[in-house]
């Protein structure tokens, strides 16, 4: 991570001259671990697809803080990944679940999980919970059997994702250690939810096949 001060350039130029730069932080262990490095590439690829194009010639851009949230998620994700890699406890499935959960919160599309997205009944004590991707939340078993054509997870995955996303939402990034995934397919279900919310396709992310 570097702090860069840009010099003035002509408004027609796409090249920007760095007047001063200062290294703030760098990872040491990620670069020695192929899977951790691939995972960091995936984080960057996802951020690159979500981030709006920055215009460095826009004199008002320094007052625009819309990118701060994305920066915070990415910065936390890389620091977390470095820490987990350092103690040799880096599980890509857990890291990706935390990252996607934090990103969905930041972007305001985190799945509704307190109550059923259809009938509003509390979900906490229910054994059968489903993630309904095209309705932006979880639902109870009764509603899920009645809704036709909805994109739903299995009951087992739904319940597990409900628990995992609860941990992600209720704890700060660096307080989360490793999520215990009983069924690793839940990461694919969460990825499908993410694709649906942002209208992506799996082929938009080339690093994915090196991670999962
Ligand atoms: Zn319901």
**Which structure tokens are listed for 139?**
């639902």
**CA neighbor of 165 nearest in space, from 126, 119, 124, 120:** 124
- Out of 16-20, 108-112, 171-175, least confident range: 16-20
Distance 126 CA to ligand 1 centre (A): 10
DSSP for 81-127, please give it: HHHHHHTT---HHHHHHHHHHHHHHHTT-PPB-SB-TTT--B-TT-S
Distance 194 CA to ligand 1 centre (A): 22
**What value does the mean pLDDT of the chain take?**
91
Distance 97 CA to ligand 1 centre (A): 25
Do the Cβ atoms of 198 and 114 come closer than 8 Å? no
In this prediction, residue 16 carries a pLDDT of 77
Distance 190 CA to ligand 1 centre (A): 20
Q: Do the bridges between strand 18-23 and strand 137-140 make them parallel or antiparallel, or are there none, so unpaired?
A: unpaired
| R_g (Cα) of the chain, nearest Å | 20
pLDDT at residue 137 greater than cutoff 80 = yes
Cα–Cα distance, 39 to 58 (Å, whole number): 33
In this prediction, residue 10 carries a pLDDT of 73
Distance 105 CA to ligand 1 centre (A): 23
Distance 91 CA to ligand 1 centre (A): 34
Distance 144 CA to ligand 1 centre (A): 7
Distance 147 CA to ligand 1 centre (A): 10
**CA neighbor of 79 nearest in space, from 22, 34, 2, 27:** 27
Distance 207 CA to ligand 1 centre (A): 37
Distance 87 CA to ligand 1 centre (A): 42
Distance 146 CA to ligand 1 centre (A): 9
In the chain, what percentage of residues exceed pLDDT 90? 74
Cβ-based neighbours of 68, under 8 Å, separated by 6 or more: none
Please state the domain extents for the chain.
Answer: 32-49+67-211
Cβ-based neighbours of 87, under 8 Å, separated by 6 or more: none
CB atoms within 10 A of CB 188: 14
Residue with tokens 């009764």: 142
What does the pLDDT look like over 141-170, one tens digit per residue? Answer: 999 999 888 889 999 999 999 999 999 999
The CATH number of domain 32-49+67-211 is 1.20.1440: yes
In this prediction, residue 64 carries a pLDDT of 66
Residue with tokens 């935390």: 98
What does the pLDDT look like over 33-88, one tens digit per residue? Answer: 999 999 999 999 999 999 887 666 666 666 667 778 999 999 999 999 999 999 99
In this prediction, residue 7 carries a pLDDT of 79
């Amino acid at each position: 991570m570097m702090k860069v001060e840009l010099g003035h350039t002509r408004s027609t130029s796409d090249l920007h001259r760095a007047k001063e730069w200062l290294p703030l932080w760098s990872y040491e262990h990620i670069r020695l671990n192929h899977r951790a490095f691939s995972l960091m590439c995936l984080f960057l690829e996802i951020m690159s697809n979500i981030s709006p194009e920055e215009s460095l010639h826009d004199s008002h851009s320094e007052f625009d803080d819309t990118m701060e949230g994305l920066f915070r998620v990415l910065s936390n994700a890389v620091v977390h990944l470095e820490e987990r890699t350092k103690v040799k406890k880096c599980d890509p499935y857990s890291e990706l679940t935390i990252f996607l959960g934090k990103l969905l919160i930041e972007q305001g599309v985190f799945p509704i999980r307190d109550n059923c997205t259809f009938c509003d009944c509390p979900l906490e004590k229910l054994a059968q919970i489903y993630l309904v991707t095209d309705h932006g939340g979880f639902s109870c078993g009764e509603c899920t059997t009645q809704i036709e054509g909805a994109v739903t997870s299995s009951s087992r995955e739904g319940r597990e994702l409900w628990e995992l996303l609860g941990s992600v939402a209720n704890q700060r990034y660096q307080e989360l250690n490793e999520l215990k995934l009983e069924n690793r397919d839940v990461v694919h279900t969460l990825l499908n939810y993410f694709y649906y919310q942002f209208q992506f396709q799996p082929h938009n992310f080339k690093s994915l096949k090196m991670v999962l």
